[in-house]
Chain A
């Protein structure tokens, strides 16, 4: 087999550790890289944040785990620091999106700006031809189209293509996803076979820089750390008819579709229908108002095609845990795509991504505006 030099993005979890073990066993020259993205101690001790985060020197427990795997496999391993870029391209936009009434997906930004950009550059600089990650997705070259395709993995329950829609052809051609054909139980089994001590380590679910998943407290702590005051985004709670029924403490406390914590009691259940960042209004209404047939996606990235010349029948995913829904997509402006669903979809949320699929092939995606 053809032996290559491959950099593996190692997070200290089972998936990327197994990737490193697999590629090593296949005879490749493997280099382990961990991106140090966020100093967990930075906000430690601030209100609502953990008192202290267990750590060694400047690193996290996950770095320790990744390093132990690399030592076990006998591969060179390095930590590369991208905290500055991560804060600029992921954390800051995350906070700003919430403060302007949208619900961001930091993982996609991290993939676009860090993992498949900065890390890919470092990998090339240190002599690696490709970068491998533990994502559940597949990448293949389609010679008929002359394009690299991103596809859903064998284990659809673990599908991470939703977070990868921003990858360009240049990025895809240097990327491999060795777990694309495997299920999670198979990956754990393989990890055991390779003697990886972390084979039973639980999957991480939360946003890596938001301990405990409480993003509101994170925003408070982050702004306090920056010496910035939390902008006053308090305003009116209005119905879909424009009737003011109360006040709310700040738009960043709400997400489209949210039912709890609205602070008003009415006979029928109320949901957040829309958040108007400009006039700080939170629009609430009955569940029927949550459904919409269309959405506009901006800052579009197309993968399977170079351009959308005519309307195309696809299925569209509007959040990570969403069954792709049949729809037609068409170009509706410069860097904008109009999505028209066959059936109205519940809680189309600005700030999330709309990702278009042709069967298992990712056509592309954009940010819901």
Chain B
């Protein structure tokens, strides 16, 4: 068997063994509908509420402020479609996840005005830009906490203050932040915050949206009065239990300082690549970032070919957002940061998870430089450019 190392944890993470053990009974003996009156219902209701308490602890909010969802996309949609109405103005950024961008585009079609703020070369939104974009009819600001492609952390606390002063709702997509950096909704000052289970070692198909007490949010689904009438549909009990456990483990990990260990591991990977490969750079290196992500450009290659070549040798990384077929456009995130198209297409995201070890990083460091060299050797563009630069040096 070929050794396989997975460094694409921003796409999804493996379910931690403890999380799997915790959720397992809810597929079998503890199967009740959490809304049922009888013993079976009471048993699962207790589990759902315990999980809610764990998620509330992770986010620094009340239990009643946690709405369980099917994942990050639903949370983003619920917050955006549920807080803005036709005629409202919404402020967001050009580096958001598609769950936010496309939800905002839908709002435009439904009669809202949307401002997509630019970012600087490091991928950061300027809080001053947010303030300047405010209009009398601004209803909502939605700016992500951490970017999925670069890991760059936005100044959400400053944006939260601006939103509070202007009395505008503030939603933040914290899908890529949860479990990686500490989150405190009070400090951020947000009214809504979405997280996703599978980005933090719980399974796919579960997430949560924090909705500040007293905030009326229009539900996406018509149905029963689940989740205090904010999200109809029988609860995904095994998923919710798993998310609760993952939240609990994430909090414990912060207490043990594991985020610092993660940063050290990521920096070792990043330094190793930058020192061993020519003509590379780190996208968003000058901004605060989550501990697990580094996005590196390797000039003169197609990122797509590098991802395939590495996968065939056992290393899983990605060119950015996950998509079932080749990405049609170069990353909108990197392009918004001002990268040229070819450099954006030459960029690779490495994202670590709790399961990764120093040996995994060594494995990557043994593979990446030689693979990049091979790709460049076989690239007609690289040969041409290399020849050109030699000529240039002589003249």
| Any B CB within 8 A of the CB of A336 | no
Instruction: Please state if A78 and B308 are interface contacts (CB–CB under 8 Å).
Output: yes
Interface-lining segment among A124-132, A223-231, A258-266, A349-357: A124-132
B147-197 CB contacts (< 8 Å) to partner A: none
A125's contact among B311, B328, B374, by CB below 8 Å, is which? B374
Instruction: Please state if B312 and A126 are interface contacts (CB–CB under 8 Å).
Output: yes
Closest to B301 in A: A125
Interface-lining segment among A54-62, A160-168, A278-286, A324-332: A54-62
Question: Closest 8 A-B residue pairs measured CB to CB?
Answer: A81-B326, A59-B325, A79-B325, A57-B324, A126-B309, A36-B326, A79-B326, A125-B305
Closest to B309 in A: A126
CA distance A83 to B304 in the complex (A): 13
Given A80-B305, A126-B305, A127-B309: A121 and B380 within 8 A (CB)?
A: yes
| Any B CB within 8 A of the CB of A39 | yes
Closest to A55 in B: B325
11 A–B contacts, CB within 8 A, in A order: A31-B312, A36-B325, A39-B328, A57-B325, A59-B324, A76-B311, A79-B325, A80-B308, A81-B325, A126-B305, A126-B312
Instruction: Please state if B312 and A58 are interface contacts (CB–CB under 8 Å).
Output: no
B281-316 CB contacts (< 8 Å) to partner A: 302, 304-305, 308-309, 311-313
Given A56-B324, A58-B328, A79-B325: A121 and B308 within 8 A (CB)?
A: no
CA distance A124 to B313 in the complex (A): 14
Instruction: Please state if B305 and A122 are interface contacts (CB–CB under 8 Å).
Output: yes
| Any A CB within 8 A of the CB of B276 | no
The total of chain B residues at the interface (CB under 8 A) is: 19
Distance in Å: Cβ of B348 to nearest Cβ of chain A: 14
| Any B CB within 8 A of the CB of A63 | yes
CA distance A56 to B323 in the complex (A): 10
Q: Specify which of A36, A58, A81 lies most central, judged by the most chain B CB atoms within 10 Å of its CB.
A: A81
Q: Specify which of B309, B323, B326, B378 lies most central, judged by the most chain A CB atoms within 10 Å of its CB.
A: B326
Q: Specify which of B311, B312, B327, B375 lies most central, judged by the most chain A CB atoms within 10 Å of its CB.
A: B312
A57-91 CB contacts (< 8 Å) to partner B: 57-59, 63, 76, 78-81, 83
| Any A CB within 8 A of the CB of B379 | yes
**A interface residues (Cβ-Cβ under 8 A, vs B):** 31, 36, 39, 56-59, 63, 76, 78-81, 83, 121-122, 124-127
Instruction: Please state if A58 and B380 are interface contacts (CB–CB under 8 Å).
Output: no
If A59-B324, A79-B325, A81-B326 are given as contacts, then 14 extra A-B residue pairs at C-beta distance below 8 Å, sorted by A number, are A36-B325, A57-B325, A58-B325, A58-B326, A78-B311, A79-B324, A79-B326, A80-B326, A81-B327, A121-B378, A122-B302, A125-B305, A126-B308, A127-B313
CA distance A63 to B328 in the complex (A): 14
Distance in Å: Cβ of B247 to nearest Cβ of chain A: 30
Closest to A121 in B: B378
CA distance A249 to B323 in the complex (A): 44
Distance in Å: Cβ of A42 to nearest Cβ of chain B: 9
Closest to A29 in B: B312
Residues of A within 8 A of B327 (CB): 58, 81
Given A39-B328, A81-B327: A121 and B379 within 8 A (CB)?
A: yes
Residues of A within 8 A of B313 (CB): 127
CA distance A79 to B375 in the complex (A): 17
CA distance A57 to B324 in the complex (A): 6
Residues of A within 8 A of B328 (CB): 36, 39, 58, 81, 83
CA distance A122 to B307 in the complex (A): 11
CA distance A78 to B303 in the complex (A): 13
Given A31-B312, A76-B312: A125 and B324 within 8 A (CB)?
A: no
CA distance A31 to B309 in the complex (A): 11
Closest to A41 in B: B328
A-facing mask of B77-93, CB < 8 A → 1, else 0?
A: 00000000000000000
Closest to B376 in A: A125
Residues of B within 8 A of A83 (CB): 328
Given A125-B305, A126-B305, A127-B312: A63 and B325 within 8 A (CB)?
A: yes
